[in-house]
Amino acid sequence: MSTPLLAIIGGSGLYDLPGLTDTRWETVSTPWGAPSDQIFRGRLGQAELAFLPRHGRGHRIPPSEVNYRANIAALKQLGATDVLSLSAVGSLRADLPPGSFVVVDQFIDRTTQRAGSFFGTGLVAHVSLAHPVCPRLGSHVTAALQAQGVPHVRGGTYLAIEGPQFSTLAESQLYRSWNCSVIGMTNMPEARLAREAELCYASVGMVTDFDCWHPAHDAVTVDAVIQVLLGNAQTARTLVASLAETITQDASAAACPCRHALDHALITAPDARDPAMVQRLRGVAGRVLR
């Protein structure tokens, strides 16, 4: 198995960790273009870390224009083995107030404008997404939040919308009727692509406010949301530090099924595969294209 490398996709300030050494920004190019930003590398104790600001430093890129394929491909090319996705979300449940963390285990994808697969004409693949996140990595995340005493729940459905506008009241009520837990704009197709790249992927929704279904939603102020964001960011940094140490010591990681998601996914016959497509895919699917 390759040396563990924990990649974190999230906000720009997550890499401000005490004790982080050997830090540098790295430029990575991919067959799908440039990722959202350079990737910040560093070491925390024995753990190697890579941080990718999903929207670019300064939050320059809207959700629908994030190059999700390039982001995941860049992390895979750097040798990432585990990906922690951290996202601000709205709550669709009364028992998930601002400041709560949700270790997501399911998604409903309502996005329509984003490229959702590395594969295509010339080389077709169908991966399983019945369980779209890594339960092993999710367990580590849950244990870390528990140890920190952070209000959290293990399991919940993330409703992904296109954005950049927030949902209407009717939509918000509809999503609640679907038993969704949180709503956001960024985790799809990110989770799909991580599975295709055979990366262990965990998603943590950090609740900043109630979505517009809540009777008190209109009373939420920008100042209040900012205070929650700042608190969530500090919790996220502590979570990353704890998780990094755990990943380096996880002897079960090599046998994780996520690392073999493509074993039975390629459907195009070898002699019918487009050589250019095969070459393009080597960075993310090289294990099964040898």
Among residues 109, 211, 271, 274, the one annotated as catalytic is 211
Give residue 101's pLDDT.
96
Short-list 176, 179, 235, 243, CA closest to 205? 235
155 found inside a domain? yes
| Residue 210 counted as an annotated binding residue | yes
Helix and strand counts by DSSP (H, E) for the chain: 6, 11
Among residues 82, 109, 209, 250, the one annotated as catalytic is 209
Tens of pLDDT, residue by residue over 178-219, are: 999 999 999 999 999 999 999 999 999 999 989 999 988 776
Tens of pLDDT, residue by residue over 58-74, are: 999 999 999 999 999 99
290 found inside a domain? no
| Residue 54 counted as an annotated binding residue | yes
Q: Where do the H-state alpha helices sit in 67-168?
A: 68-77, 135-148
Short-list 88, 117, 285, CA closest to 198? 285
Spatial separation of the C-alpha atoms in residues 17 and 66, rounded to whole Å? 25
209 is catalytic: yes
289 found inside a domain? no
Short-list 65, 46, 47, CA closest to 55? 65
182 found inside a domain? yes
Give residue 132's pLDDT.
97
Q: Which residues contact 20 (CB under 8 A, 6 or more apart)?
A: 42, 43, 44, 49
250 is catalytic: no
DSSP assignment of 222-233 equals HHHHHHHHHHHH
141 found inside a domain? yes
Cα–chain-centroid distance for residue 229? 18
178 found inside a domain? yes
Instruction: Tally the domains of the chain.
Output: 1
| Residue 274 counted as an annotated binding residue | no
CATH code (residue 225): 3.40.50.1580
Q: Give the domain range for residue 59.
A: 5-284
81 found inside a domain? yes
DSSP assignment of 183-226 equals EESSSTTHHHHHHHTT-EEEEEEEEEEE-TTSTTGGG--HHHHH
52 found inside a domain? yes
Instruction: For residue 176, name the pLDDT band (cuts at 50, 70, 90).
Output: very high
Is the C-alpha dihedral spanning 109, 163, 59, 14 positive or negative?
Answer: negative
Is the C-alpha dihedral spanning 70, 90, 133, 142 positive or negative?
Answer: positive
Give residue 216's pLDDT.
81
Short-list 186, 231, 136, 213, CA closest to 10? 186
